[in-house]
Amino acid sequence: MRILKDFKIPDFKLPKLKMKEVNEIEEVKVDYNKMKKIQEGRKENYTPTEYKTIKEIFKRSMEKYPNNVLLLEKFNHKEEFKEITYKKFGEEVINLGTALTNKYGLKGERIVIIGENTYHWYLSYMTMLCGVGIAVPVDKELPENEIENVIKRSKAGAVIYSTKKKESIKKVQDKLPEVKYFIQMNSDDELQGRNVGLNTLLKEGRELVNSGDNSFEKIEIDPNEFKVLIFTSGTTSNSKGVMICNRNLAENINAVSAYVKLYESDRLFSVLPLHHTYESTIGFLLPFAMGASIAVCEGLKYIVPNLQETKPTAMLTVPLLVENLYKKINTNIKKSKKDGLVNSMIHVTNALKTVGVDIKRKVFKEILDNLGGNIRIIVSAAAPIDAKIGKWVEDIGILFLQGYGLTETAPIAALTPDFKPKVGSAGKPVICAEIKIDNPNENGEGEVLIKSETTMLGYYEDEEETKKAIVDGWFHSGDIGYLDEDGYLYITGRCKNVIVTQNGKNIYPEEIELLLGKIPEIKECMVYGKKSEKEDKELIISVKVIPNMDEIQEKYGEDITKEKIHDIIWEKIKEVNKTLTSYKAIKNLEIKEDEFEKTTTMKIKRYAELKKDEK
């Protein structure tokens, strides 16, 4: 699962640890026989749910969990977290849906949703899934030209946007005459031209519902109907729009319910962007189906205080965040001069756990309290993670799970069961999916192919790419991996044309190459991710360029140095960078003097070129 948000992790401030010795902790005196019985655990899947649509889930949760808290959010940093119940949420979904369909005539339309994680984002998305039209979640970090393009490409009839995106939307409005309405979240503005506040729609919808209008509730959902459009990368001609249906999303819920047990008492911590299916499906729709709650993080710099305030039990994240927490906590342990004690207690508690006695959460309570005290599950996806970090998470008493999938699988294709996790693995194929390795090498590695009920309907307005991606029902992921003897999947590489950064971003090099190819001074180029020599090993977006010497010599003279050629091309690249989202910007340029190695169809052999760098 490839996360699109630009993750910039701030410093975390953690209190100095005191840490008691094991024999000083009163709570670890346990009934060993009872503990062993508990630890023997489950060896088979849980009974999965059998939902067909998200509206079915919506109706059930409204009936079963009306008084449960669904969302906790701070609408003002200086105030406390506000609790919103399932009942209020459900009523407002119906009110908003009624207004959008009956008052504003948007039934069946594509509606863009753009903004940070906030109550009105959840509300808008659920309303779309329950019968308004097609939801188009958009990355709020996109520059204005890309926001404009994605609105045009999706043929959106309306745009729902957060207050923080107001200026961006205002700048592109006049270029989007086909959009009927621009709807601002958390606004009471009455309809003026094409602009209206979402609170006004809620009020108008409520009036219609109170007068007896139940038409929105009666809308029936075809499980296979196109309901969500997500652009996987940018909005140039090379980007892909993924078409997802209700069945895809519902099968994600069914699949996860077989491997991971969530309870009404669980609370998920929402820190990843909702425009991506990982967060919107597993971080929202899954807990919604279980009657659980969601605590919305105010922002990355508030992660630790928000964890301590809301005390969540589970968190979906990407490797970069887990790695950062790992480093900060261990730095704090060393500063407190408790590293020797902690390491010895890890050995002791691991030994006890092998004989069925698990006292980790009691022994490492002080560390866990830094994360709110109740975290029992951390799920890492979007990119591979160092297995030793996952092992450490489990060493301190947190269940560490990993998932695998893509936007095209909406997103879950594999997941580690909570009753039989394997740190380092991307998990087992979920119950509605098959995974096989195509053309494996001597190590069993090959392209990961997926056949699943969660697989997309296809690429938006691109039948040719759809046929390439889905062959005989098998989705070609482009990822390289292998299956072990227990059927667990391990991802060892990525497809030849997708760069996946450490924090889970996916970057299609052809998209950037298309723009660089317009520079007259560039003859050919290849964009790739170069491993940093720094400790974080983050990929640096780099480009190998063969200069167009005829053009350069004509413009700048024949007597020109290599350094000058580099400077000329770098200045041109910087201009292109201004049009790109920050994480796609080229950071490194290499002037190539020989030709690229190519296939018979004149495509650059990327792996062959990169292997040259390793020699």
pLDDT higher than 90, residue 98: yes
Q: Where are the alpha helices (DSSP H) in 99-229?
A: 119-127, 144-153, 166-173, 198-210, 215-218
Q: Is 463 helix (H, G, I), strand (E, B) or coil?
A: helix
Distance CA 190, CA 192 (A): 6
Per the prediction, the chain carries an average pLDDT of 89
pLDDT tens across 44-73, in order?
999 999 999 999 999 999 999 999 999 999
Is residue 529 very low, low, confident or very high in pLDDT (cuts 50, 70, 90)?
confident
Can you give the pLDDT at residue 509? 80
460 vs 326, more confident: 460
Distance CA 268, CA 281 (A): 12
Is residue 234 very low, low, confident or very high in pLDDT (cuts 50, 70, 90)?
very low
Q: Is cis: bond before 319, omega within 30 of 0? A: no
Tokens 């008084």 belong to 67
pLDDT higher than 80, residue 41: no
Q: Count of CB atoms within 10 A of residue 80's CB?
A: 9
Tokens 């996952």 belong to 390
Given the DSSP bridges, would you call strands 377-380 and 399-405 parallel, antiparallel or unpaired?
Answer: parallel
Picking from 91, 146, 190, 79, the residue whose alpha carbon sits closest to that of residue 583 is 146
What are the structural domain ranges in the chain? 22-40+261-493, 54-76+83-220, 508-614
Highest average pLDDT, of 132-146, 242-256, 322-336, 544-558, comes from 242-256
Q: Are 132 and 111 in contact (CB under 8 A)?
A: yes
299 vs 288, more confident: 288
pLDDT higher than 70, residue 25: no
CA geometry: angle 175, 179, 183, nearest 5 deg = 110
pLDDT higher than 70, residue 159: yes
Distance CA 456, CA 245 (A): 7
Q: Taking residues 486-510, what's their average pLDDT?
A: 74
CATH code of the region 54-76+83-220: 3.40.50.980
DSSP letter at 397 equals: T
Which CATH number is correct for 508-614, 3.30.300.30, 3.20.20.80, 3.40.50.800, 3.30.9.10?
A: 3.30.300.30
Picking from 187, 124, 190, 130, the residue whose alpha carbon sits closest to that of residue 156 is 124
pLDDT tens across 194-212, in order?
999 999 999 999 999 999 9
Picking from 270, 303, 298, the residue whose alpha carbon sits closest to that of residue 125 is 270
Q: Is 187 left (phi over 0), alpha (psi -120 to 50) or beta?
A: beta
Distance CA 235, CA 229 (A): 13
Q: Is 177 helix (H, G, I), strand (E, B) or coil?
A: coil
Distance of CA 534 to the CA centre of its chain: 25
Distance CA 342, CA 340 (A): 6
Can you give the pLDDT at residue 524? 87
Q: How far is CA 87 from CA 53, 67, 90, 128, 355, in A?
A: 20, 6, 5, 18, 45
Q: Are 399 and 411 in contact (CB under 8 A)?
A: no
pLDDT tens across 369-423, in order?
999 999 999 999 877 777 888 999 999 999 999 999 999 999 999 999 999 999 9
CA geometry: angle 244, 159, 463, nearest 5 deg = 35
Q: How far is CA 443 from CA 440, 480, 484, 490, 610, in A?
A: 7, 12, 11, 12, 21
Amino acid at position 17, single letter: L
39 vs 426, more confident: 426
Distance CA 413, CA 34 (A): 36
Distance CA 507, CA 238 (A): 11
How much is the pTM?
0.80
22-40+261-493: CATH architecture? 3-Layer(aba) Sandwich (3.40)
Q: Are 455 and 442 in contact (CB under 8 A)?
A: no
Q: Is cis: bond before 411, omega within 30 of 0? A: yes
Tokens 């059998």 belong to 50
Is residue 530 very low, low, confident or very high in pLDDT (cuts 50, 70, 90)?
confident
pLDDT higher than 70, residue 17: no
Can you give the pLDDT at residue 18? 67
Q: Do 508-614 and 54-76+83-220 fall under one CATH topology?
A: no
Q: What percent of the chain stands above pLDDT 90?
A: 68
What six digits make up the tokens of 609? 């070129």
What contacts 573, CB < 8 A, 6 or more positions away? Answer: 516, 519, 543, 586, 589
What six digits make up the tokens of 41? 């655990």
DSSP letter at 180 equals: -
pLDDT higher than 60, residue 545: yes
Can you give the pLDDT at residue 19? 65
Q: Is 233 helix (H, G, I), strand (E, B) or coil?
A: coil
Largest CA distance in the chain: 85
Is residue 37 very low, low, confident or very high in pLDDT (cuts 50, 70, 90)?
very low
Q: Is 169 left (phi over 0), alpha (psi -120 to 50) or beta?
A: alpha
Picking from 322, 283, 304, the residue whose alpha carbon sits closest to that of residue 502 is 322
What contacts 220, CB < 8 A, 6 or more positions away? Answer: none
Highest average pLDDT, of 51-55, 437-441, 519-523, comes from 51-55
